[in-house]
Structure 1
Amino acid sequence: MISTSLALAAFALALAWPVPILLSHAKWPTRAPATALVLWQAVALAGGLSMLGALLTFGLAPFGPDLVSGGISFATSFLGDQPWGPARPVHILALSGAVLLGGHLLLNLVVTIVRAERDRRRHAQLVLLLSTPLPDAPGTRLLDNPAPVAYCLPGAFTTMTVLSAGLLSLLDEDELDAVIEHERAHATQRHDIVLMLFRAWKASLPWFPIADRAHREVGVLVEMLADDHARRSIDDRSLARAVALVSTSGSAAPPHRIQGTWTGAAPVEDARQRILRLEATPLPAGPKATVISAAAALITVPTVLLLAPGLTNLID
């Protein structure tokens, strides 16, 4: 299994450094944000799976020729007199590293989910106390605040869109409709879940510059996805004006928040990118299918390397 471990380690290294950098500098994601988001998720999942798999296959190498048989042999070794069997300290260290890394990732995910839900509930309670319902806009609350504010608080059963009086005074009717549709897209498409996963990845690996880059890129992509939803009912000119006005309305404007995740009410550069991409032609179906196939391949490669040899031996 040493060759499998080395292959997985090389694959994890590629997904941890050059691939995310190339993807973050690519121009096509703005033309197909949903497709790019699928690819980013595949990169993160395949990278984590490869890191764990490399440690596991190396640590279990003395116990069998593949992960399945090695895992079975390792488990049964604890029933005998020599629980670690032929394992050397370096193999024990690799197995311990796999357990610690897996536990660290899982724990950070759980902590991120619990904190996000706690913050969302507290924020929703405050909004209900300090706001009033917006007429003709179900599920929308109005804050008496001069700063232009727009964000959503999605939940499992109820969703709340929050706007401010400053925003209503700043935008005309079409621009306001664009903002409302944008926020509804965040809630209905549950962008908060996607952002939460990448936020947990960033929290798990704070020393990992790629985790921070991925979190930021995904944040911009979900903004573009929400823009695309708004474009179904609002013209591009109104949407562009709304994005430009809110992003340049002054430093007093609070950032755009999705269930406890601050993604920016769009820094000016992100707003500029969102506006310019409205004029771009969507990515054709062929390249989209290629990217989706690449995303599927990223997940398939570590899965096959880990499980295929063992399952084949079991069948034979």
Structure 2
Amino acid sequence: MVVWQAIALAGGLSMIGALLFWGLDPLGDTLIGALRGGLRLVLGDPEANSPGTIHIFALSTAALLGFHLVLTLIRAAWRITRQRARHRHILSLLTEESAGNPGTLVLDHETPIAYCLPGFTGSVTVLSRGLVKRLSPDELRAVLAHEKAHLEQRHDLLLLAFASWNDALPWLPTSKLSLAAVQELVEMLADDAALREVTAPVLLRALLTVATGALGEPSGKSPAPLPAAGTGGAPTEELSSHRLRRLLTPKPPLPAAMRATILAAALLLLALPTTMLVAPGLFS
């Protein structure tokens, strides 16, 4: 997860930084020197160089790209906030509070379904009555622990960032790949939290029961008449083949040295674009 965040941030910094460096090139040999030259130009120094048309275009593109990325994030956050508000209103009409599980709403529907709805003013977990009937107490505890992990670790904010990056740069293959990878990784993180409460077979049975509700039951019944959790900016709960293999054949955690190496590589990847832009000016 840290590596994908580093890739996303480094990609944005690289694109904006390259255009910025190109546009400021006539004003100085380094980024710091170019900024000084730009300040002299703004202050009216007659000896300061002026950027040409192509360089002004590069500077404008850098500013527009940065504005586009920020605006897309704000727009996505606003859209998802409104979707969640409408979803919460629907839930207030169709659900009731769970007696034994605070912060959990029970939907009167026979299709097995479970998801979480994040929010800054109060997050909830939604279970259908059909799911509660089908699960054993341990399996129900596994589902609740899984959804609780999504809410406590604020996986919705991670998904929001990558979804907005994908919306802003849909032509960039990395943005689509990163969104799919992060969607799967947040589910694995929630699985790990649930595994601290129950065993892997119990969690697997619970997830398979929930998956039947997401796909529709063999009898032809349709899923519960509510929007999927993913449309509200929450985790999608998709049971992928990677998650299944991970639960069926657990692997030992990475050694501490490998984890430290991965974190160091992520930090290096994030620092590299900024360092390449700023370091020449510092050394000169």
TM-score, normalization by structure 1: 0.81
Partner of 2:23: 59
1:305 aligns with 2:276: yes
1:153 aligns with 2:117: yes
RMSD: 2.2
Partner of 2:107: 143
Q: Any conservation in 2 of the 1:152–1:259 contact (CA below 8 Å)?
A: no
Q: Any conservation in 2 of the 1:148–1:246 contact (CA below 8 Å)?
A: yes
Q: Residues 1-316 of structure 1 correspond to what in structure 2 (within 5 A)?
A: 37-80=1-44, 85-249=49-213, 250-251=215-216, 252-253=222-223, 257=229, 260-261=232-233, 263-269=235-241, 271-276=243-248, 279-312=250-283
Q: Which moved more, 1:254-263 or 1:192-201?
A: 254-263
Residues of 1 paired with 2:209 and 2:117: CA distance? 22
Residues of 1 paired with 2:267 and 2:33: CA distance? 26
Q: Deviations over 1:183-226 (max 9, x none)?
A: 00000000000000000100001122221111011000000001
Residues of 2 paired with 1:294 and 1:274: CA distance? 25
Tell me the percent identity. Answer: 43
Alignment size in residue pairs: 276
Q: CA deviation at 1:104?
A: 0.7
Residues of 2 paired with 1:75 and 1:197: CA distance? 34
Q: Any conservation in 2 of the 1:195–1:215 contact (CA below 8 Å)?
A: yes
Amino acid at match of 1:57: F
Residues of 2 paired with 1:54 and 1:81: CA distance? 26
Partner of 1:27: none
Change (3 A) 1:143 1:180: same
Residues of 2 paired with 1:75 and 1:150: CA distance? 57
Residues of 1 paired with 2:40 and 2:93: CA distance? 59
Query: 3-state DSSP class of the match of 2:237?
Result: coil
Q: CA deviation at 1:56?
A: 0.6
Query: 3-state DSSP class of the match of 2:126?
Result: strand
Amino acid at match of 1:283: L
Q: Any conservation in 1 of the 2:165–2:175 contact (CA below 8 Å)?
A: yes
Change (3 A) 1:78 1:262: same
Q: Any conservation in 2 of the 1:195–1:261 contact (CA below 8 Å)?
A: yes
Amino acid at match of 2:247: I
Q: Which moved more, 1:138-147 or 1:116-125?
A: 116-125
Structure 2 regions of 5+ residues with no counterpart?
Answer: 217-221
Q: Any conservation in 2 of the 1:243–1:275 contact (CA below 8 Å)?
A: no
Structure 1 regions of 5+ residues with no counterpart?
Answer: 1-36
Residues of 2 paired with 1:131 and 1:204: CA distance? 36
Q: Deviations over 1:58-99 (max 9, x none)?
A: 1101101221221232244134288x9431222112111101
